[in-house]
Structure 1
Amino acid sequence: MLLEESLDRLGLSHPVTSAWIAQLSEPHRHYHTLDHVTHMLAHLPDAEASREMIAAIWLHDIIYDPHAANNEEASAEQALRDLSATDIDAPLVAALIMGTKRHEAGSGAQNLLNDLDLGIFGASRAAYARYSDQIRREYGFVPDDIYRPNRALVLERFDKMRIFHTPGFTKHEADAHANLQWEIGMLRDGSLR
């Protein structure tokens, strides 16, 4: 599904969707951008393309401040506000967004959103390396000696869990763990900054 098609399906006002595009284009973003939304929409199965899932894809990172620990909560709150005057199930969208905080297995819809969000883990090594660099740029304010061990801890948590739970993504599980282990190794030996 293309961005324009997804916005047509949602049927929201131009000021609302223009604000979303502006937020996803903020200069401090390098990975959590319109490109990320585009990639998720491109991998959304047609049979699963409910308006709630489309809205959750658009809004799951709508608030993104690398200095903050409450981005999902703030994004869920914005979803409730922005969708309040529509027939889209805003509480469901907010719950799906909150489920991306820990990416734990849940309902079929939650598993799909999580898999779409983490799909980059199972991408080619070149695409994953680009993602890794983009995340580092988003946290450019963090010194290397603090970033490297903390990023490695986050990735180790993912490496210990089953990442993908839907048929379209489970075939990439081994690739995801290989990519995570590659980045963890690079972070631990200091060759990735």
Structure 2
Amino acid sequence: MTPDQSLLLLGLAPAITRRWLARLNEPQRHYHTRAHVEAMLANLPPADATREMIAAIWLHDIVYDPKASDNEELSAKVAQQDLAGSDIAIASVVELILGTKRHEPGSETQNLLNDLDLGILGASTPAYARYAHQIRLEYAHVPTPQYHAGRAAVLRAFDQKQIFQTERFAHLEERAHKNLRAEIARLQ
């Protein structure tokens, strides 16, 4: 399913989806863009392509301010507003979005969304390096010493647990930890 097909499947007013596309093109975004959404949609198994999952993929980072800590909560509010009046189960979408804040294991659907969101961690070395660079660009406002310390702490937290919860992504677990450890070493 192409991203455009997924938007059509949601059946929302064109003005709403244009607003989503504009948000995903905001200047502070380098990784959390339409390309991230497209990558998630490309890896979404057709059997799991419910309207709720598609909406959660589009909206999980619809509010993205690298200086804020409430992006998921604000993204969930956008979901409530933009999906109002549709027959999409808004409460399910909101729950899925909020579940991406900590990427903790949950329902099968939550686990899949989290794995789709974190799939980049298990990417090839060059793709992971591009991702790490894009994240640094999103946090350009943070001085380098503080960025290195903060980013390393986040990566260590991921490295200390099982990242992927679904069978579909399990094969990426080892590579993800290798990527995390390599980035941590570069940051130190």
Deviation at 1:39, TM superposition (A): 0.3
Deviation at 1:172, TM superposition (A): 0.5
Write out the 4+ residue segments of structure 1 that deviate beyond 6 Å after TM superposition. none
Distance (Å, rounded) in 1 between the aligned partners of 2:147 and 2:83: 36
Deviation at 1:182, TM superposition (A): 0.4
Distance (Å, rounded) in 2 between the aligned partners of 1:82 and 1:20: 10
User: In the alignment, which residue of structure 1 is the partner of 2:56?
Assistant: 56
User: In the alignment, which residue of structure 2 is the partner of 1:130?
Assistant: 130
Distance (Å, rounded) in 1 between the aligned partners of 2:165 and 2:8: 29
User: In the alignment, which residue of structure 2 is the partner of 1:191?
Assistant: none
Measured on the aligned residues, the alpha-carbon RMSD in Å equals 0.5
TM-score (normalizing by structure 1): 0.97
Deviation at 1:151, TM superposition (A): 0.3
Unaligned runs of 5+ in 1: 189-193
User: In the alignment, which residue of structure 1 is the partner of 2:83?
Assistant: 83
Does residue 142 (structure 1) correspond to residue 162 (structure 2)? The answer is: no
Distance (Å, rounded) in 2 between the aligned partners of 1:8 and 1:77: 22
TM-score (normalizing by structure 2): 0.99
Aligned residues: 188
Distance (Å, rounded) in 1 between the aligned partners of 2:139 and 2:77: 24
User: In the alignment, which residue of structure 2 is the partner of 1:45?
Assistant: 45
Distance (Å, rounded) in 2 between the aligned partners of 1:18 and 1:128: 29
1:3-23: CA deviation from partner (whole Å, max 9, x where unpaired): 111011111110000000000
The percentage of aligned residue pairs carrying the same residue is 57
Deviation at 1:28, TM superposition (A): 0.9
Does residue 20 (structure 1) correspond to residue 32 (structure 2)? The answer is: no
1:77-128: CA deviation from partner (whole Å, max 9, x where unpaired): 1101111110000111011000000000000000000000000000000000
Distance (Å, rounded) in 2 between the aligned partners of 1:88 and 1:67: 31
